[in-house]
Amino acid sequence: MKNITLSVEKVLGFIPQEKINSCADAVAKAQAALEDGTGKGNDFLGWLHLPSSITDADLKDLEDTAKGLRESCEAVVVAGIGGSYLGAKAVIEALQSSFQWLKEKKGPVILFAGNNISEDYLAELLDLLKGKKFGIINISKSGTTTETALTFRLLKTLLEQQVGKDEARKRIVAITDSSKGALRKLSTQEGYKTFVIPDNVGGRFSVLTPVGLLPIAVAGFDIRALVAGAVEMENKCANSVKFEENPAAVYAATRNLLYKDGKKIEILVNYHPKLHFLAEWWKQLYGESEGKDKKGLFPASVDFTTDLHSMGQWIQDGERIIYETVISVETPVKKLEFPSDAENLDGLNFLAGKRIDEVNKMAELGTQIAHVDGGVPNIHISVPELTEAYIGQLIYFFEKACGISGYLLGVNPFDQPGVEAYKKNMFALLEKPGYEAETAAMKARLGKK
């Protein structure tokens, strides 16, 4: 198997190589703290050696369950939010056809819900599912997340109305805590097939648990290859690997130096629309892990060349507080050559016979040169192809680098206390039982009776 590779060459005009190399000791300490469990958030390190600990029996159970859903459903709704959906969505979008909806179906359509509270979205989803053979994968570690729980109740009600309680329970799979929470209780009572989210794996690090693996398998992708790719990167990013040869170590060190040098925003760039949700997953991973204690790079993303026609202006010419990390795919899955035209009215015959990807690559190179010249350092990640194995490598690479980077920054990369504030206010406003004091305070603040 080839590997994804990292290059910081286009950062060296801003941060010299020696300075990056001088981070080796600090990075080694961060890596040791992850390995020994002596750093902050050390009860959430289950992701660190997760790929190599996944057993054949684990994969078989997931594959068998996926097969059952694939055979019995036209659509499978994955209900979950944040870490309980972004990983699966990212991998499925990266691997499936951009026009999956219109393609001849070889398995169920995978739909995502439980990640918003839009009445229109939910009503339209229920309309779509009426009369359809559908299943539900309900994912919530806590089992109490409002968006997901509310959506699940709506979906479960419709499914039971359509096929009856007995058949419905065969088409519902719950992925949750091993013993705690409302979803565990409900699953036990209703007799749903369940998978466990390990206690020591936080949501945003859970894509290689059943949280990501089951939906990916239901979508028809090879979870064994995905996990094998992640294992490969677990080895490539191991603490025993020399700093300069360890991509997670070099990436973490470089972004930390760029941050200290005044860069406040890291923009993850792709040149393939299929990678849009990989960037969404990455934004959660780094945003939730590092944005705390009034510190942390703001993770942003753009889809090029599309966004070169919108955000390109800001990136080229706006305040110099940004750098880019470009995910470059070496070889596209498909092959398409640009045709010659006898009349050449559009003046594009100079491209005749070229692969479309060659045009894309020249756009990529031209953009890199322009942005670096314009004062935007570029980190480059090369992905041989968009296959399960390389996506698996990318996932583990980003996770390991995130753990190291969080420790270099001096934060706990594994908690997310900041996401509770809106929930408390929302429950107070909705007058949730148990929130009487907060409701009274909120009413007083808003001048309501």
Provide the annotated active-site residues.
288, 309, 423
Q: Shortest CA distance to 381 belongs to which of 362, 394, 399, 368?
A: 394
Among 41, 46, 51, 82, binds ligand PA5 (CB under 6 A): 82
Retrieve residue 331's tokens: 């070889």
User: Within 13 Å and on the Cβ side, how many CA atoms surround 362?
Assistant: 6
Contacts of 418 (CB under 8 A, 6+ apart): 291, 292
Pairwise CA distance, residues 339 & 363, whole Å = 19
Span near ligand PA5 by CB under 6 A; candidates 22-30, 197-205, 233-241, 389-397? 197-205
Q: Which is nearer to ligand PA5, 333 or 419 (CB)?
A: 419
Pairwise CA distance, residues 47 & 26, whole Å = 22
Report, in Å, the least distance between residue 119 CB and ligand PA5: 20
Pairwise CA distance, residues 449 & 444, whole Å = 8
β pairing state of 378-383 and 5-7: antiparallel
φ and ψ of 268, to 5 deg: -85, 125
Pairwise CA distance, residues 254 & 257, whole Å = 5
Task: By CB under 6 A, tell whether 428 contacts ligand PA5.
Answer: no
Report, in Å, the least distance between residue 51 CB and ligand PA5: 19
Using CB under 6 A, which residues numbered 281 to 320 contact ligand PA5?
288
Pairwise CA distance, residues 143 & 177, whole Å = 8
Q: Shortest CA distance to 52 belongs to which of 291, 386, 400, 349?
A: 400
Q: Which is nearer to ligand PA5, 14 or 47 (CB)?
A: 47
Report, in Å, the least distance between residue 84 CB and ligand PA5: 4
Span near ligand PA5 by CB under 6 A; candidates 58-66, 138-146, 329-337, 381-389? 138-146
- Contact between 79 and 148 under an 8 Å Cβ cutoff? The reply is yes
Pairwise CA distance, residues 251 & 255, whole Å = 6
Q: How many other CB atoms sit within 10 Å of the CB of residue 170?
A: 15
Contacts of 340 (CB under 8 A, 6+ apart): 349, 352, 353
Q: Shortest CA distance to 295 belongs to which of 396, 378, 407, 375?
A: 407
Span near ligand PA5 by CB under 6 A; candidates 36-44, 77-85, 263-271, 309-317? 77-85
Using CB under 6 A, which residues numbered 353 to 382 contact ligand PA5?
none
Per-residue string for binding with ligand PA5, 16-45, x by CB under 6 A? ------------------------------
Q: Which is nearer to ligand PA5, 202 or 377 (CB)?
A: 202
Per-residue string for binding with ligand PA5, 146-165, x by CB under 6 A? --x-----------------
Q: Which is nearer to ligand PA5, 182 or 228 (CB)?
A: 182
Among 202, 247, 296, 299, binds ligand PA5 (CB under 6 A): 202
Report, in Å, the least distance between residue 41 CB and ligand PA5: 12
Pairwise CA distance, residues 236 & 89, whole Å = 26
Report, in Å, the least distance between residue 206 CB and ligand PA5: 7
160 DSSP assignment? H
Q: Which is nearer to ligand PA5, 271 or 277 (CB)?
A: 277
**Burial (CB count <10 Å: 0-12, 13-18, 19+), residue 427:** middle
Report, in Å, the least distance between residue 37 CB and ligand PA5: 19
Q: Which amino acid is at 51?
A: P
Report, in Å, the least distance between residue 202 CB and ligand PA5: 5
Report, in Å, the least distance between residue 399 CB and ligand PA5: 12
Which position has the token pair 């290059």? 7
Q: Which is nearer to ligand PA5, 34 or 253 (CB)?
A: 34
Span near ligand PA5 by CB under 6 A; candidates 6-14, 61-69, 81-89, 236-244? 81-89
Q: Which is nearer to ligand PA5, 27 or 278 (CB)?
A: 278
Helix then strand count (H, E) for the chain reads 17, 10
Q: Which is nearer to ligand PA5, 349 or 425 (CB)?
A: 425
Span near ligand PA5 by CB under 6 A; candidates 137-145, 166-174, 332-340, 432-440? 137-145
Among 328, 367, 405, 416, binds ligand PA5 (CB under 6 A): 416
CA–CA–CA angle 115, 71, 191 (5° rounding)? 65
Retrieve residue 91's tokens: 């991998």
Among 83, 108, 210, 377, binds ligand PA5 (CB under 6 A): 83
Per-residue string for binding with ligand PA5, 203-222, x by CB under 6 A? xx------------------
For the chain, the distance separating the N- and C-terminal CA atoms, rounded to the nearest angstrom, is 65
Number of chain residues interacting with ligand PA5 (CB under 6 A) = 14
Q: Which is nearer to ligand PA5, 39 or 287 (CB)?
A: 287
**Binding footprint of ligand PA5 on the chain (CB under 6 A):** 81-84, 140-142, 145, 148, 202-204, 288, 416
